[in-house]
Amino acid sequence: MQHEMFRKLAGHWLTGVSVVTTLDQDGKPVGMTMSAVTSLSLTPPQFLICVDNRARTLAAIVASGHFCINYLRQDQENLASAFARRGEDRFAALAHRVEHTGSPVLEGAIAFIECKVNCVHAGGDHTIIVGDAVNGDAPGGEPLAYFRGSYRRLESITDPQQVWW
Ligand SMILES: Cc1cc2nc3c(=O)[nH]c(=O)nc-3n(C[C@H](O)[C@H](O)[C@H](O)COP(=O)(O)O)c2cc1C
């Protein structure tokens, strides 16, 4: 399959947008924008992320052994863009805190999941990282979405009458 068709097909899958964070070897916060993120297993509780082998954050996650998936709120588009661009101090003036693992938890995220790396698999030009979910919370809010190469905002979907959890 041609790259163009692959990108087109992949782009037709609606996703949320997350920033996956960890600490580098100097203990400094690092992170990147990611949509290839999913829950994997309930027992044990696991999530997986798919990281480009060229991403600098990959080595930091593998070395630290932990990461935090922060699901972005719909007004955090600028954050998503900043964490996908090279050559920026991504954490400058960004409110974040440490909870369980040390991976930064971003203020304003609608939910976050802290994971400890369980195993790593090769996946073509990406690396699949499976993490054991050890901590998290869901303060709530409207999610930022991504579809066909653009950030999207959904109609309100957080009406308490309509959700079952
Ligand atoms: C909406 C969006 C989703 C993205 N999803 C992923 C992803 O799932 N995996 C990935 O490796 N890169 C993804 N990227 C690209 C990375 O965010 C980008 O390459 C980043 O600069 C890597 O940072 P680093 O090299 O400092 O680690 C995505 C970018 C955007 C804008």
Give distance in angstroms: CA of 156 to centre of ligand 1.
26
∠ CA 25-47-108, rounded to 5°: 70
Task: Judge if the beta carbon of residue 12 lies within 6 A of ligand 1.
Answer: no
pLDDT tens-digit map of 74-132 = 999 999 999 999 987 899 889 999 999 999 999 999 999 999 999 999 999 999 999 99
Ligand 1 site-directed mutation target among 13, 33, 37, 127, most atoms within 8 Å of CB: 33
Report, at the CATH architecture level, how domain 3-150 is classified.
Roll (2.30)
Helix (H, G, I), strand (E, B) or coil at 64: helix
Question: What's the Rg (C-alpha) of the chain?
Answer: 16
Report the 10 Å Cβ neighbour count for 128.
Answer: 16
Region 143-159: mean pLDDT is 86
Give distance in angstroms: CA of 84 to centre of ligand 1.
5
Q: What pLDDT is recorded for position 87? A: 80
| Mean pLDDT of all residues belonging to the chain | 94
pLDDT tens-digit map of 49-80 = 999 999 999 999 999 999 999 999 999 999 99
Q: What pLDDT is recorded for position 155? A: 78
Alpha carbon 163 to its chain centroid, in Å, reads 23
Nearest CA residue ID for atom 5, ligand 1 = 34
Q: What is the atom index within ligand 1 of the atom nearest the CA of 90? A: 26
Q: In the predicted model, is pLDDT for residue 157 greater than 60?
A: no
Q: Which helix (H) or strand (E) holds 81?
A: helix 77-82
Q: What pLDDT is recorded for position 55? A: 97
Q: What pLDDT is recorded for position 158? A: 56
Q: What pLDDT is recorded for position 159? A: 59
Task: Provide the residue ranges of all domains of the chain, joining segments of one domain with +.
Answer: 3-150
Q: What pLDDT is recorded for position 136? A: 98
Give distance in angstroms: CA of 35 to centre of ligand 1.
8
Q: What is the atom index within ligand 1 of the atom nearest the CA of 81? A: 31
Strand 46-52 and strand 126-137: the pairing is antiparallel
Task: Judge if the beta carbon of residue 127 lies within 6 A of ligand 1.
Answer: no
